């Protein structure tokens, strides 16, 4: 991922809500409204509605998104606190999907400012102690699954529920725990953990405590042939990661 507005003169930079995106080896330029986000997408404000524009100076790029350097805050930071160090962004320009997304429905992004100081560290400088320290405090998977289960439980507006907003903030802290040393304590999410007694089927957990989710993930999980989807994913991944980068004899 390249720097904001790289390759553009000061007078020709993109506006704050603009971006440029091109795809595939044919370098098709995407123009018009697009939905952009990145993983993890847990806060309602992580989904951004942007306007893709064509900048001839950047046509040599493909399979990338170039964000604007204008505005009070980088667009990438509004999406789960992303940056430009190799993050992968999801961009959708499907007209049917966009017809359901209105500018007024886009929520304010969360505050993803990070701690600059390491608040905890092991008692010794031994590598094994640091490894154990990390494993004991790496709770991103636990918090993310709690968010997913509660969002599914509360229905269509689940991600906007105050409990899910709190878990979303915990996810943003836990995802960069290895960088800044600030971890999420179990006491912060214990109440949410106690609320879960059954697991949605798409998580494939304990069968005796599983229910059929009526949410979109539950419907997708039951409608998709897993083996067929995996084979298609492998084929698409091969095409994008190999055939576009190398000339195969």
Q: What is the pTM of this model?
A: 0.73
Q: Which helix (H) or strand (E) holds 124?
A: none
pLDDT tens digits, residue range 107-153? 999 988 766 555 667 777 788 887 888 888 888 999 999 999 999 99
At 175, give phi and psi (nearest 5°): -65, -30
The pLDDT of residue 165 is above 90: yes
Euclidean distance between CA atoms 78 and 210, whole angstroms = 35
Residue 17 is given by DSSP the state T
Question: In the prediction, which pLDDT does 8 show?
Answer: 34
pLDDT tens digits, residue range 51-96? 998 888 888 887 888 888 888 899 989 998 887 877 889 999 999 9
Closest-CA residue to 1 (of 51, 66, 54, 59)? 66
Residue 60 is given by DSSP the state T
């Amino acid at each position: 991922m390249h720097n904001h507005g790289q390759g553009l003169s000061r007078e020709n930079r993109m506006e704050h809500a603009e971006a440029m995106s091109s795809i595939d080896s044919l370098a098709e330029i995407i123009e018009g409204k697009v939905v952009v986000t990145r993983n993890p997408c847990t806060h309602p404000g992580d989904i951004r509605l942007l306007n893709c524009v064509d900048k001839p100076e950047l046509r040599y790029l493909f399979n990338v998104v170039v964000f604007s350097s204008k505005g009070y805050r980088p667009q990438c930071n509004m999406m789960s606190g992303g940056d430009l160090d190799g993050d992968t962004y999801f961009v959708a320009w499907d007209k049917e999907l966009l017809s359901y997304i209105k500018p007024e429905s886009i929520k304010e992004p969360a505050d993803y400012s990070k701690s600059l100081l390491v608040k905890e560290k092991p008692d010794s400088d031994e590598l094994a102690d640091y490894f154990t320290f990390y494993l004991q405090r790496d709770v991103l998977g636990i918090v993310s699954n709690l968010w997913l289960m509660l969002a599914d439980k509360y229905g269509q507006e689940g991600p906007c529920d105050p409990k899910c907003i709190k878990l979303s903030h915990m996810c943003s802290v836990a995802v960069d725990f290895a960088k800044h040393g600030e971890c999420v304590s179990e006491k912060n999410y214990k109440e949410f953990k106690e609320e879960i007694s059954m697991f949605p089927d798409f998580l494939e957990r304990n069968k005796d405590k599983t229910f059929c989710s009526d949410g979109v993930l539950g419907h997708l999980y039951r409608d998709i042939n897993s083996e067929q989807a995996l084979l298609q994913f492998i084929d698409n991944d091969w095409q994008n990661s190999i055939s576009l980068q190398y000339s195969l004899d």
